[in-house]
Amino acid sequence: MCAAALPCSDATIVGAAEGQAPIAAASADFPIAADARLAGDAKQTRFVLDLDKTIQFRAFALADPYRVVVDIPQVSFQLPAGTGAAGRGLVKAFRYGLVMPGGSRIVFDLTGPAKIASASVLDAANGQPPRLVIELEEVDRILDVRGALRRVAHNRGRVGERIADVAIGSVKRGAGS
């Protein structure tokens, strides 16, 4: 049964063993996110998402409240329960999920102003899976606002550009962007 506000899916339900919840069978070959972790401190924080294949992404920072948003293609999040509830360093917590058919999102709630120092997808190497890596750096609120104003003034002539993309922080485009 599909609710009017929810998109219907062509996923089928696989029969569950007695005492287990049914599991939705994937209707397509979506990338799988198997693990996520945070490392760092209040000055620099790194997020790593282990995947089974490389993906494209778009990352940007927002203010009021401070957040970093990472848009990715639809991913099957097979992360342990409670992943993202506890933060570390510049990240208070993060959440993730499907935002539309074909698209997933990761949202980081930050402890204060920060910029995206680097963002990339690493290919599988040395026994490690492909990984999405986002590195955040603390920025001073005054410098953050001045930088945002300079970027807005610089981008003023661009038609259709969203202020959120230029307002706070910067993105160093990586292999996956």
CATH classification at residue 92? 2.60.40.3500
The pLDDT of residue 6: 30
Structural domain includes residue 5: no
Structural domain includes residue 73: yes
CA dist., res. 103 & res. 24, Å (int): 18
Structural domain includes residue 146: yes
Q: Taking the CA atoms of the chain, what radius of gyration do you get in angstroms? A: 18
Q: Closest Cα partner for 110 from 91, 94, 96?
A: 91
pLDDT tens-place string over residues 88-123: 999 999 999 999 999 999 999 999 999 999 999 999
Q: Could you list the residue range(s) of the whole structural domain that residue 48 is in?
A: 31-167
pLDDT tens-place string over residues 8-65: 333 322 323 334 333 344 446 999 999 999 999 999 999 999 999 999 999 999 988 9
Domain count along the chain: 1
